[in-house]
Structure formats: C-alpha cells, structure tokens
Structure 1
Amino acid sequence: MANSTETREVPAAGNGTSNSCVPDNATQFNLTSHEQSPDFYIVLPVIYSVICAVGLTGNTAVIYVILKAPKMKTVTNMFILNLAIADDLFTLVLPINIAEHLLHYWPFGEVLCKIILSIDHYNIFSSIYFLTVMSIDRFLVVLSTVRSKRMPHRTYRAARIISCCTWILVTLIVSPFFVFADVYKDDLEIQSCGLNFPKPERFWFKASRIYTLILGFAIPVSTICILYTIMLYKLRHMHLNSNAKALDKAKKKVTVMVFIVLAVCLFCWTPFHLATIVALTTDLPQSSLVIGISYFITSLSYANSCLNPFLYAFLDDSFQKSFRKMLECQAA
C-alpha cells in the first residue's frame, strides 16, 4: 500500500511538479519534469512494468484457481480472493501511471484522474484491511481450537458478507480522495492529476497524510500485532491432549505464518509511512538522494501487490495441487 496517490497533492504556489511519483509535501520533495534524472526516467518504467506483469499474472492465477477449483471454496480463500482482486485492480491501472511518468503530464482527463486516484487509494487500504480480517479470522479459529469449540457461524457465505462489508468500509475511507482528485496546471503550465485541496492547502495536506497514516497503517497493523501476540501466547501455553502432534504442527504453521505476514507487511509499508512522518515533521532539501529514496519507497509499496499471491496462495499446498490439476486438465 503507499502509492502514487499519496504523492499527487497539488503543490503550493511556486512549487509545481509534474511527477506524481515523488512524495510531495507542498514545499519539499518536488521534482519538475526537466529536472528528472535520466536514470529515473528509464529505470522506473521497467520496475513498474515488472511489478505489473508479475502482479497481474500471480493475482489472476489466484482468482482463477479459487473460483474454479471446488476444494478452494473455504473461508480463508474467500478473503484471499478479495485480496487478489484488490491487487489485480491496482496492477491493471499501473500502466497509466507508467504512461504519465514517461509523458511528464496527465493526458487522460478529469474523470479518469478521479478513478485512478481512487483505485490507487483502494490499493493502500483494501490490502491491509483484508489482511486484518484474515488475522481476526485466524485468531478466532485458533481460539476455538484451544477451547475445543466449534464455529458454526464461520461459513463461506458469512465470509462473503464480511468481504462485502470490508469493501464498503474501504469505499467510505477512500471517498474523500475521490472528491478532491482533480486535474490542474502548475506554474510551468504542465497538466497533472492530483489532490486539489481547498485553502489552507498545507492544513488539508497534513490532514490527508495523518488520515492515511492512522486508518491505513497504525490501526490495522496494531490490531494484527495484538491478535497474533495473543494467538501465539495461547498456543504456547495450551495443554496438548491426545492430538498433541497435530496441534504441535498447527502451532508451527501459525508461527511461520505470523512471521511471514508481519515481516512482509511491515517491510513493504513501514518505509512509506515513516516517510509520511518525515514529510510532516521536517523540511528535507531537494536532492538526488532524497528523490531516489522516495522512488524506492514508492516502488516497494507497489511491489506488495505482486508479493501477496506468493504469500497467501502459492505457499499453500492445497492451492499448488489445485493449480497443477487445472493445468493438467487444460493440457489434456
């Protein structure tokens, strides 16, 4: 999640920028098209194209297998399906970001500007929120296992309803960005797509950053950490019965999943949100190093969309078997 959306704020007067990929704090991190390094101009489209290709292939494969394979109709896979849809949606519009980067201006009009900015923000919030839902589901499953209780209400239908509610919640969170999205021209008369805040612009800019930081990272990540901490504590202190070996395997699987989920999530998104804090509290000088770091942070957040399929699906034995079986059927 910290994509070009968080970099598209309309800058204050006298600080125009045509490059939406550079974190913009209205008075810093600005880079006009004629100042852009040739290395950035060439390398970034290649990186974004790789992320787009891998993300589309991986997430589309996840969606296809879950929808087609009968054994994949599980509660967890319903959440994985929605996570893949969110990532696929973002990678589908990534070529437009690439085109804007190469052209140095926004040629696609106001309507598409609002749509692209909204989808970018959907990527920021939907991934982490579905990850939070998956964490809550796993927590409840482990808790019921420890207490030797069944979960009659944990059904595939219930998972679909929860997924719809999650999308509605994310839509409400993203709606302000859709309202403020607009096409504007800077001092160089270069047309760009950004968030056009009312006056005082700096106040609204900071508010949007804090809004994203709290709702898109602090609250969901804190929730995930608390749930997994309690879950591991319960597993570590549970008394094993005759099914000790099976429970011990489950304990190890959960431990590995906790490590992978938290490590990758924090690895991809923490730099972006740390950069947000830096942008809110300091005035960094514009330099090639700062610009390079900002591009790296953006690319890292983009990369999360192509890592999720490997984390939540390709590492799953049942998914691998279903995927191979479907390939064999098509080959036959």
Structure 2
Amino acid sequence: MDSTVDMMTTTQDSYGYDDSTPTAGDYEDYFDLMCDRASVRAFRARYEPPLFWTITLVGGLGNLTVVWIYLHFRQRLKTMTDVYLLNLAVADLLFLVTLPFWASEASHGWSFGPGLCKLTSALYKVNLFSSVLLLTCISADRYVAIVQTTKAQNSKRERLRCSKLVCGAVWLLATLLAAPEFIFATSKPDAEGEFCRMVFYENVGNRTKILVLALQVSMGFCLPFLIMTFCYSVIVRTLLRTRNFEKHKAMRVILAVVVVFVVSQLPYNGVLVMEAAQATNATNELQCEEKKRFDVAGQVLKGLAYTHACLNPFLYAFVGVRFRRDVLRLLRVYRCLPRGMLGKPGKQRASVMSDTDTTQALSL
C-alpha cells in the first residue's frame, strides 16, 4: 500500500480535477500507470491552443467593442438591458483573459506557479458563472418588459436601480460559487510536466468533486436554462398575439439565443454529469480506450462551450440597428470610415434594438 501511495501522481482529466484519495486514489493511479494517456495529451496540445487563441481574439474584439460603445455613449446605460449587457461583456472579457494560460498549459504544462493557478482557476469560474447568470437576468428583464409592458414602463427608474443591485448580487454569488477553486486549485507535477488542477485529498475526496461538479451543472446550466426557457416561451407566445411586422425578426433573435446556448452548453454539461457519475464509482469501470475517448470528447465539447463567450456580443448587441449605428459613428469619429458610410439621418424602421423599452428587451 505504501509503495502504491509513493507512486501517486496527479490524476488528470479534461476538466481539471485530481480525484486521488486514500480509497479511490490508489486504484486511479494504478489505472493511470496501466493506461497511457499520452495520445490524449497530444490531442489536447494540438486542439486547445489554436481554438482558445481564436476565441480570445474574436471574443476580445467583440466584447471590447461593446464596452467601448457604452463608455463612449454613457447615455445608453438607462435600461436594465444595457446594464446587464455591459456587465456581460466585462464578464466575458475576464473569462477570455484566462484562456491563454490554459492554451499555454495544453502546450507546455503549467509554468506560472501555484498562486497564479489558484487565481486563474477562480477567475475563470467567477466569470463563467457570472456570464451565465447575467444571461438569465437578461431573459427575465425581457420577460418583464414584453409580457408585463405597463408595469415595466411605469417602473423604469426602479428597475434601473434594481439592475445595479442585481449585478452586484450576481458577481457576489459567482464569487461564492468559485470558492472551491480558491481552496483546491493548485499546480501539481506528474510524469509529463506540471499541471494546474483541482486537487482533492483524503477527507474531502470524491464527495467534494461531485459537489463541485453538481454546482457547476446546476447553477451554470440547469437553473439558467429553465428560467430562460420559461421566459422566452412566454415572450414568444405574447409576440404571436401581436400584430407587428417586427415580431418575426424578434422571434428569430430569441430562437438564435436559445439554440446557441443549448448547443454550446448542453453537451459539455452532459459530460460533466457523466464525470460526476464516474466519481461515485471508486472502481472506475471505464476501460483504458473508453477513458481516453471520453477525455478527448470532453476536450472537444469544452472548447465548444467556451465559444459562447465570443458569440455573446453578436447575439445580444450587434443584431440591433442602434448598436450597429453607434459602431459606425465611433468609427467615423476616429476617422476609420468615410463620412458617407454612416448613412443618411432620418426615420428608421423600428427594430429589435430600437429605443423603446420593450423592443430593447428583445435583443439588447
């Protein structure tokens, strides 16, 4: 037994957990010694760095543009929708800041020390949770603005003050949900280098790992998905009763938002559920080849989930006429576009991004 413990190395998977414990750890490390996962790490080294850098560059450009617009046109921050959008862009930017670290780790291992490992892991989780929770707040705000129109228009100031309190609560809750990263994340060496992982030892072991995964799945997907589904289904039903030529455009935007969220987040959260189910089984029934295929699938689906951070600006901001015109105005101010590119001023058709509170709530 002692010799086995001496051989213990970091048990790595594609989600950043080390589940070595006195009960399950011996088997896990024996399993890793018998199952060479070099091909999985080689795949990760080829797959993650270019994808993460692409997400960082595209998402950084889109979200920086959103922040740029709001800083330049401060009068836009007059609705809950705009406050949520600005916070969402900041959350996505902070999330994107962590991706180059994970890209470097995939290529060369973790070389930034345990302190930065803990900070980067926590920052990643804080902004993962805050981004999803802000999307949930946006759907709830749309529900109030469209389904309860009279109430929404009579309480604009109260709702604006409320939005700032809600954003503060979202950041606080996201920080609390990221507490396991502050506690358990550390850099650990193994046979092929040093990696930044969640490490659970002795008395906490698999139970804590299961709890962490359950929190991520429930608060990072299930609860937001249920709230978004309810809000948007009622919104669509309300729009179908109205005679407005813009309603079909609005419903396409809503459909795109829901489909992108589900397609990008559901598969990876399904893998996390399977990971939690495996953690409940100390004997780990997966065979070597099955485990390697599972790890590769998890890496691919994790990359798919991360693309949501670079799609948010295009789903929530750039679909609107008013936001696109503000971008063009700024480009003209900084002489990036000729004067004629802005278009002629005049009466514009209403859009899902127009100035009314109701239509703003449709697509931000």
TM-score, reference length from structure 2: 0.76
Residue 98 (structure 1) aligns with: 103
> Does the 8 A contact of 2:185 with 2:199 survive in 1?
yes
Query: Highest relative contact order (Cα 8 Å, sep 6+), 1 or 2?
Result: 1
> Does the 8 A contact of 1:86 with 1:123 survive in 2?
yes
| Residues 1:192 and 1:154: Cα distance change in structure 2 (over 3 Å) | same
Residue 11 (structure 1) aligns with: 19
- Per-residue CA deviations over 1:11-57 (Å, capped at 9, x if unaligned) read 324546xxxxxxxxx979x9877444645423431111111111111
Question: Is 1:196 equivalent to 2:199 in the alignment?
Answer: yes
> Does the 8 A contact of 2:232 with 2:254 survive in 1?
yes
Question: Is 1:87 equivalent to 2:95 in the alignment?
Answer: no
| Residues 1:147 and 1:80: Cα distance change in structure 2 (over 3 Å) | closer
* Matched position secondary structure for 2:209: helix
* Matched position secondary structure for 2:317: helix
Tell me by how many angstroms 1:132 deviates. Answer: 0.6
* Matched position secondary structure for 1:67: helix
- Per-residue CA deviations over 1:67-111 (Å, capped at 9, x if unaligned) read 1124532321211111111111111121111111111x3221121
CA distance in 2 between counterparts of 1:82 and 1:5 reads 32
Question: Is 1:219 equivalent to 2:223 in the alignment?
Answer: yes
**Structure of larger gyration radius:** 2
Which residue identity lines up with residue 212 of structure 1 in the other structure? Q
Question: Is 1:327 equivalent to 2:331 in the alignment?
Answer: yes
Residue 21 (structure 1) aligns with: none
Q: Which runs of 4+ in 1 moved over 6 A?
A: 30-33
Matches within 5 A, 1:1-332: 7-12=15-20, 13=25, 15=28, 34-36=38-40, 38-75=42-79, 76-103=81-108, 105-145=109-149, 150-186=154-190, 188=191, 190-199=193-202, 200-237=204-241, 244=243, 248-249=244-245, 251-281=247-277, 283-287=285-289, 289-331=293-335
Larger mean Cα displacement after TM superposition, 34-43 or 126-135 = 34-43
> Does the 8 A contact of 1:146 with 1:235 survive in 2?
no
| Residues 1:249 and 1:141: Cα distance change in structure 2 (over 3 Å) | farther
| Residues 1:189 and 1:147: Cα distance change in structure 2 (over 3 Å) | closer
Larger mean Cα displacement after TM superposition, 197-206 or 248-257 = 248-257
| Residues 1:292 and 1:183: Cα distance change in structure 2 (over 3 Å) | closer
* Matched position secondary structure for 1:320: helix
> Does the 8 A contact of 2:19 with 2:200 survive in 1?
no
Q: Tell me, which stretches of 5 or more residues in structure 2 are unaligned? A: 1-11, 279-284, 337-364
Larger mean Cα displacement after TM superposition, 315-324 or 173-182 = 173-182
How many equivalent residue pairs? 309
Which residue identity lines up with residue 258 of structure 1 in the other structure? I
Tell me by how many angstroms 1:279 deviates. Answer: 2.2
> Does the 8 A contact of 1:181 with 1:196 survive in 2?
yes
